[in-house]
Chain A
Amino acid sequence: MSDLFAARSQMAMSLAFHIVFASAGIAMPVLMAVAEALWLRQGDEAGRALARRWAKGTAILFAVGAVSGTVLSFELGLLWPAFMAFAGPVFGMPFALEGFAFFVEAIFLGVYLYGWDRVSPRAHWLAGAMVALSGTLSGIFVVIANAWMNTPAGFRLEGGRVVEVEPLAAMANSAALSEALHMTLAAFAAVGFAVAAIHAHRLRREPRNLFHRRAVAIALTVGGTAALLQPLSGDLSARVVARSQPAKLAALEGQFETERGAPLRIGGWPDEAARRTRYAVEIPYGLSLLAFHDPHAEVRGLDEFARADRPPVAVVHVAFQVMVACGAAMALTALVGAGLFLRRRRLPDAAWYLRLVTLTGPLGFVAMEAGWTVTEVGRQPWIVQGVMRTSEAVTPMPHLAFPFVSFTILYLFLAAVVIVLLRRQVFASPRLGADAAAEKG
């Protein structure tokens, strides 16, 4: 394993791990706040029990998210020192802002988790709302920094030196809005569906359990709304990529030749040697229409880029297909659920629908990981699109396979523990009586 590959693997693994916990940190507080509001406004006991249970889950997920996020902030320098020496001042502003958002998030999470009996119910609910707000903001800031790596702005290069740095212009880069929107919705959709799925699974066995009923209703409303909005934000993202990163667009669509009226390829396998994508279902004019909103627009193919400037096509194409397929399945599930709800004016609790929700549950996180693969692998061989290559950024430190393997083992272990804890402590049906005492902690 080359050191560059080990460094990329460690970064990818760390991001893939952290993003799950970070998303929970963004969306779980919203679910808790809704549940607690039901208790405060309508005296709904299930809402109160849910808020307490979800708070436990959030405590576990947030802690792992906070420490794995710390790892990432160090890894920027541990693995990519040359990148940070160059880019730190340019794209670092959102990280500074994120620092404060994270402060607010950590502070009010402390108040929320440990303050049930110490602050007034109203202040407690507000603390939850603050966690939700600052968690969302901190996610947005980090994604803005990533967007800068895709569409760098706010500086000029003069003989290899960075001059005229304007951090605010760097923040306002062209991918900032679309990426931040896409990721925020993804967090709500993925977490909403995952939580709904777990409770739907239990509800199927205990159809009268109010705890799980309420949980499915809240999580599905939040997750489903996000899943329905996500295709719109995806369209925006695709158009930004088409304009600013043509090689990435060509890779994610498996487009080898430059073409007017390019078709949209669904599925298929890009064969780099033969320079074509095989076995794909092609929808005529589809790509030109989606990427440029014009059926005859020209789409640049991979052939236009030197071999050394192309991302790995197969990985990016397949990841993109996976993301879109998962997103579509979730949006359809949400649509069906909305239809059922509007007809009967009650929670769609038919066994087949709950089973569908259970099956769709993991797809949000699958889509999220696939989407980050598209963004990050699709940018290769650049760490900063068109400005700095990943290979120029890597640390001179040798034997990088060692930390990569160490962190992988550590994270696998943590993931296993978290799953066990969540099963036992959070998603189990409440035992009557016993829980009231146990919930105090």
Chain B
Amino acid sequence: MPLELWLAGVVMVSLNLYALGAGADFGGGVWDMLARGPRERAQRETIAHAIGPIWEANHVWLILVIVLLFVAFPVAFAALATALHIPLTLMLIGIVLRGSAFTFRGYGGQDDAVQRRWGRTFAMASVVTPLMLGVCAGAVASGAIRMRGGRVVTDFVSAWLAPFPLSIGLFTLALFAFLAAVYLTLETEDRPLQDDFRRRALLAALAVGAMALVCFLLSSSGAPSIRRGLAREWWSLPFQAVTGLVAAGAIGALWTRRFPLARVLAMAQVTLVLWGWGLAQFPYLIEPDLTFEAAAAPATVLRPLLAALGAGAVVAGPSLLYLYRVFKAR
């Protein structure tokens, strides 16, 4: 397998883990915003308790994705940062406000007004960030970012401010909210509270399904080559079938209150969606002018980088497992 494919794989795995970890942390913010009913306060506390120890570690996957892009696929990084300057900047503001507001709320004392103010900031930023992340992914998939001679030739707005990227933004938001609600069912022993999150997870699953359909319909004009990939390759049909079954399974497991199973299936669902996109877009890193191969840095860079990634994984991997064992034993 060529070196750049290994690296593309590592980028995808990192993005995948970012979605499964940080994605759910953002989803938690969505449920903080939508906390309602007699257990409003308990819902918020459960969310804060679940996110607190792990959000910063989960966040590092995004840094890793960025670093891997600029070391291994520098032309692509430059092109994305140019064409998507505006949504990426909005996403960054979301990241800054989410992280700081969450911490300020946690350490800001018990004053209710203070709690509410930071809580609202935290929740709003938790919505903006996944939305913009999805918009950027949608723009990359849409094929609207055009390049010539290694430079972006499209303007700074039209590639992402379009129905398809925006629908992918909403889809991402729904997916993250779904993941979070499913995880949260396992963050409490309290049955009514668990039911709150179960109901939210089921509603979010409906939203995910609806948005998936919207994205699929929009893709015929909004992202034609991805649509081809998802509809007409030899693997398309079985892949779609498996994803559909997993999604239905997750709903079934939630319905029958088998929460650990629901968590596994929800994670599998997000993973399948992400890799489906990756496979449909392959061999393009940015549709339709830049392939992974054309964007790749020379082998003298990729080889030591892979070695460093291996060494880093030996250190960070067990540490991450330890973190999850200490705080997420259930």
Name A103's contact: one of B57, B66, B106, B109 (CB within 8 Å). B57
Within 8 A of A (CB), among B62-82: 62-64, 66-68, 70-72, 74-75, 77-82
Binds B, one of A39-47, A107-115, A205-213, A243-251: A107-115
Task: Report if B99 contacts A (CB, 8 A).
Answer: yes
Q: Would you call B82 and A406 a contact (CB within 8 A)?
A: no
Chain A minimum-CB-distance residue to B118: A417
Which single residue of chain A is at the shortest CB-CB distance from B52? Answer: A114
Q: Kindly state the separation between the CA atoms of A92 and B66 in the bound complex, as whole angstroms.
A: 11
In the complex, what residue of chain B is closest to A162 when comparing beta carbons?
B298
B253 part of interface (Cβ distance < 8 Å)? no
Listed residue (A82, A85, A95, A417) with the most chain B CB atoms within 10 angstroms of its CB: A85
Pairwise interchain contact A89-B67, C-beta atoms closer than 8 A: no
* A99 and B64 contact, CB distance less than 8 A: yes
B85 at the interface (CB under 8 A from A): yes
Q: Is the pair A93, B308 in contact by a Cβ cutoff of 8 Å?
A: yes
Asked if residues A108 and B319 are in contact (CB atoms below 8 Å), the reply is: yes
Chain B interface size range: 35 or more
The answer to whether B88 and A74 touch across the interface, beta carbons within 8 angstroms, is yes
Q: Within 8 Å of chain B (Cβ to Cβ): is A59?
A: yes
Whether, in the assembled complex, A225 has its beta carbon less than 8 Å from a beta carbon of chain B, the answer is: no
Chain A interface SS verdict (over half):
helix
Whether A106 contacts B60 by the Cβ 8 Å rule is: yes
A88 engages B297 (CB within 8 Å): yes
Binds A, one of B28-36, B90-98, B137-145, B165-173: B90-98
- The contact of A99 among B81, B97, B156, B312, by CB within 8 Å, is B312
Q: Is A374 an interface residue (CB 8 A)?
A: no
Shortest Cβ distance from residue A423 to the other chain B in the assembled complex, whole angstroms: 12
Using a Cβ–Cβ cut-off of 8 Å, how many residues does chain A contribute to the interface with B?
A: 69
* CB < 8 Å neighbour of A63 from B54, B80, B102, B150: B102
State in angstroms the CA–CA spacing of A282 and B83 once bound together.
52
In the assembled complex, B275 has its CB within 8 A of some CB on chain A: no
B-side residues, CB < 8 A to A, are: 52-54, 56-57, 59-60, 62-64, 66-68, 70-72, 74-75, 77-82, 85, 88-89, 92-93, 95-100, 102-104, 106-109, 150, 152, 156, 297-298, 300-301, 304-305, 308-309, 311-313, 315-316, 319-320, 322-323, 326-327
By a beta-carbon cutoff of 8 Å, the part of chain A in contact with chain B is: 56, 59-60, 62-64, 66-71, 73-74, 76-78, 81-82, 84-90, 92-93, 95-100, 102-104, 106-111, 113-115, 118-119, 130, 163-168, 395-398, 403, 406-407, 410, 414, 417, 421, 424-425, 441
Apart from the given pairs A88-B74, A96-B305, 12 other A-B contacts in the complex at a CB distance below 8 Å:
A59-B107, A63-B102, A77-B78, A77-B81, A89-B71, A93-B71, A95-B70, A100-B312, A114-B53, A164-B300, A395-B81, A410-B93
